[in-house]
Structure 1
Amino acid sequence: MTTAEPDWSLWRSFAAVVEHGSLSAAARVLGLSQPTLGRHVEALEAALGVTLFERTLAGLKPTDTALKLFEPVVGAQRALSEAALMAEGSSAALAGSVRITASTVMSHYVLPPLLAELRRSFPGIALELVPSDSVENLLLREADIAVRMFRPTQLELIARKLGEIPIVACAHQSYIERRGAPRTVAELLDHDLVGFDRSDLIISTARRLGFELQRADFVLRTDSQTAMWELLKAGLGIGFAQAGMVQDAPGMRVVLPDFAVPPLEVWLTTHRELFTSRRIRAIYDRLGEGLTNHLARIGR
C-alpha cells in the first residue's frame, strides 16, 4: 500500500521553522499560530517516519536529516513561485489586484495622489500598498511592483530609472524664527539636528561630503523616516528631506540652499514574468508616468 505524500503546507511550515529558527518566528512569517506550526512539524515527521527536530530548552534544533531536506524544499518553493509568476504573467484582464511596495516616506507623502489617479483610471484593479524601508522580494511575490531608491541588480527584474529626488536641508519657519538659520554648513552643529538613531546614512553621507557628524550631534533621533519628517514639521530642528515635500509643506523652509546633498535615484521595478500581465503592466506604466511628472515638478 502506497503512503500518501505529505501535504505541501507541511513542507512549507518545516522550511520556515528551519529558516527562522523557532516555531514562534516561523508562525509570524507565515501568519499561522504557533500550535498549528507545531502540529505541521509533527505530522510531517510522522508521514516521513523520521525526526526532523531535536526538542531542547533553547527550542527546536534541526537534525542532519532536516538540513539535508531543507535545500530541495527551498528549491521547490522557488520553482512554485516562478510557476505562479508565469501564470500571473499570462493574465490579460484589467481586474484583480496589484501589490506595490515603496519606502515609508514615498508611500505616505508621495504616492497617495498618484494612486488616486490610478484608481480613477483602473477601477477594476485593487491596489495594495506596502510601506517598507526594507527590500521586498519581488520573486517571492511580496510585491508586484517596487519603487526603489537604488538600482536593482537581480537579473530577473525589469527596472526603469524615473529620475532623481533632490534632498535639501530644511527646517520649519517656527524653528528658524526661534533659533535663526545657519549661514554655513559648519554652523549646523550649533543647531538642533534631527537625524537617524541606529542608521549611519546621514553620517556617512556627510563624511563623503567632507563634513564630520557624530550620532551625538543629533538631539532628536529616530529610524522612522516618517516620524523624522513630522518632527521637522513640528519645528523641532533642522534635518534633511525630499525637496518636493519641503515645497509642498506649509511653513517648511530650505536652509543652506547651496549645500549639495546627493539626490536619491528613483527606480520602478517589477519581475520580468509579471511584466506580461496586462493589469500589472498598466499600473507599472501609469505609475511610472505619474512619478516622472512628480520628479520633473520638484526638479524645477
Structure 2
Amino acid sequence: MNNIDWSLLRSFLAVVETGSLSAAATQLSATQPTLSRHIRELEATVGVSLFTRSARGLDPTEAALSLVDDARAMGEAAQTLTLKAQGRSQQLTGTVRITASVVVAGLILPPILAGLRRAEPNIQIEVVASDLAQNLLRQDADIAIRMFKPTQGALIARKLGEAPIGLFGHQSYFARRGRVDGRDDLLTHDVIGFDRSDAIIKGYAALGLSATRQSFPIRCDDHLVYWNLLLAGAGLGFAQVPLASRYPELEQVPVDMNVPPLPVWLVLHEEVRSNARVRRVANHLSATLGDFFQDARAGNHRADRKPVRPNRP
C-alpha cells in the first residue's frame, strides 16, 4: 500500500462511498474519465478487480472491501499532514474558508468580512453558507461559526456569546393587523411557520397554546426566505434579537415565548490555529461577532423601546 499513489486511493474511496463514478466525480470535483482511469490504474497495481457493475451502480468486490480500512487510514494521515503544514504558514496571504449558517453568512458576516478585506487585502475569503455542519477534520472549511458546541476532540471552540430569539413583526404588519396583547392573542395573528419542522408547534404547546401546521398561513423551512417574509410584513416571525434590532422597521412582540437563546461558537481545527492567516481571520471574527452578540446580552436592542401602537383596524 505504501507505493500506491494517494490520488488513486482517494478516487477509489469516493467510488466505494458513493457507489458510482458520476457521484464520486461530483464529490471530488473531478471528471468521470479521470476517476475511471484511476480505478483502472489501481486495479493494475494491486492485480485484482475492485468493482462489478450492477443495477445499483458499482459494487465493490471482496478484494476492494479489504482495502478500504487501509485506504481510509492513509487518507486521514494525508489530511493530518496537510493540516500541520498549513498550521506552520506564517504568511498573511492565501485563502481562508469560513462556514456559517445561511442567516449568519447572509445577514451578519458581509459587513464583518468587508472590514476584514480592507484590513487584510492579501487574504482571500471563501464563504460556505450552509445549515449543515461542515467537516473541519476533512478540511471542508478552516473556520466554522456554529450554533452548537462541537464535541470532537481535535477541534478548538471559542464561545462568542448567545443570540436571544424573539418574535418580531414589521411596522406595516402591525398597522394592518394591530398589536399582540398576550400569548393567546397569537392565535388570531398571522405567524410565519415552518414547513416540515414542528419546532414552532412544539413551542406553542409548551406555552399551552394548541396549534397545527394549518395555524401558520405561510410556512417555510429556509431561514433566509423566512427572514425576508418577515421583512415583507407577511406575518410575525421568529428572529435573532441582535439581528432584528438592526432593522428599525421591525418591532419585537412584548410576549415571552420562552425560546432558549442560540449559543454562538467559533470553531477551528487545532492543527491550523498556528497558521497566521487563519488566526488573523479567527481573531477578527471573534472580536466583531463577540461585539455583535454582546449588544444582545447587554440589552442594547430595540426590544427595550416601546413603539407607537396604532389602533386596531
Q: Does 1:290 align with 2:304?
A: no
Q: 46-55 or 163-172: which moved more?
A: 46-55
SS in 2 for 1:221: coil
Structure 1 unaligned blocks of 5 or more = none
Q: Under a length normalisation based on structure 2, what TM-score does the superposition of the two structures give? A: 0.88
- Residue in structure 2 matched with residue 171 of structure 1 by the alignment: 169
The one-letter amino acid of 1:36's match is: T
- The Cα shift of 1:211 comes to 4.6
Identity %: 48
The one-letter amino acid of 2:194's match is: F
- The Cα shift of 1:267 comes to 0.6
- Residue in structure 2 matched with residue 141 of structure 1 by the alignment: 139
- Residue in structure 2 matched with residue 128 of structure 1 by the alignment: 126
- Quote the Cα distance in structure 2 between the aligned partners of 1:27 and 1:60: 13
CA contact (8 A) 1:193 1:219 kept: yes
- Quote the Cα distance in structure 1 between the aligned partners of 2:270 and 2:128: 20
Q: Does 1:247 align with 2:219?
A: no
- Quote the Cα distance in structure 1 between the aligned partners of 2:221 and 2:147: 17
Q: 187-196 or 236-245: which moved more?
A: 187-196
- Residues 121 and 74 from structure 1, CA distance in 2 versus in 1: closer, same or farther, beyond 3 angstroms? same
- Residues 163 and 213 from structure 1, CA distance in 2 versus in 1: closer, same or farther, beyond 3 angstroms? farther
SS in 2 for 1:274: coil
Q: Under a length normalisation based on structure 1, what TM-score does the superposition of the two structures give? A: 0.92
- The Cα shift of 1:210 comes to 5.1
- Quote the Cα distance in structure 2 between the aligned partners of 1:75 and 1:213: 51
- Quote the Cα distance in structure 2 between the aligned partners of 1:47 and 1:223: 49
* Counterpart pick for 2:262 among 255, 261, 264: 264
- Residue in structure 2 matched with residue 229 of structure 1 by the alignment: 227
- The Cα shift of 1:24 comes to 2.1
- The Cα shift of 1:53 comes to 1.3
- The Cα shift of 1:221 comes to 2.0
The one-letter amino acid of 1:110's match is: I
CA contact (8 A) 2:182 2:255 kept: no
- Residues 39 and 191 from structure 1, CA distance in 2 versus in 1: closer, same or farther, beyond 3 angstroms? farther
* Counterpart pick for 2:80 among 76, 79, 82: 82
- Residue in structure 2 matched with residue 105 of structure 1 by the alignment: 103
- Residue in structure 2 matched with residue 96 of structure 1 by the alignment: 94
* Counterpart pick for 1:159 among 133, 154, 157: 157
- Residue in structure 2 matched with residue 189 of structure 1 by the alignment: 187
CA contact (8 A) 1:11 1:44 kept: yes
Q: Deviation digits for residues 93-149 of structure 1, max 9, x if unmatched? A: 111111111101001111111111211222221111111110111111111111110
- The Cα shift of 1:207 comes to 4.4
- Residue in structure 1 matched with residue 302 of structure 2 by the alignment: none
The one-letter amino acid of 2:153's match is: L
- The Cα shift of 1:26 comes to 1.4
- Residue in structure 1 matched with residue 46 of structure 2 by the alignment: 48
- The Cα shift of 1:179 comes to 2.0
- Quote the Cα distance in structure 2 between the aligned partners of 1:65 and 1:94: 46
User: What is the aligned length?
Assistant: 298
Q: 241-250 or 167-176: which moved more?
A: 241-250
- The Cα shift of 1:250 comes to 4.2
CA contact (8 A) 1:185 1:256 kept: no
- Residue in structure 1 matched with residue 304 of structure 2 by the alignment: none
- Quote the Cα distance in structure 2 between the aligned partners of 1:76 and 1:128: 27
Q: 262-271 or 278-287: which moved more?
A: 278-287
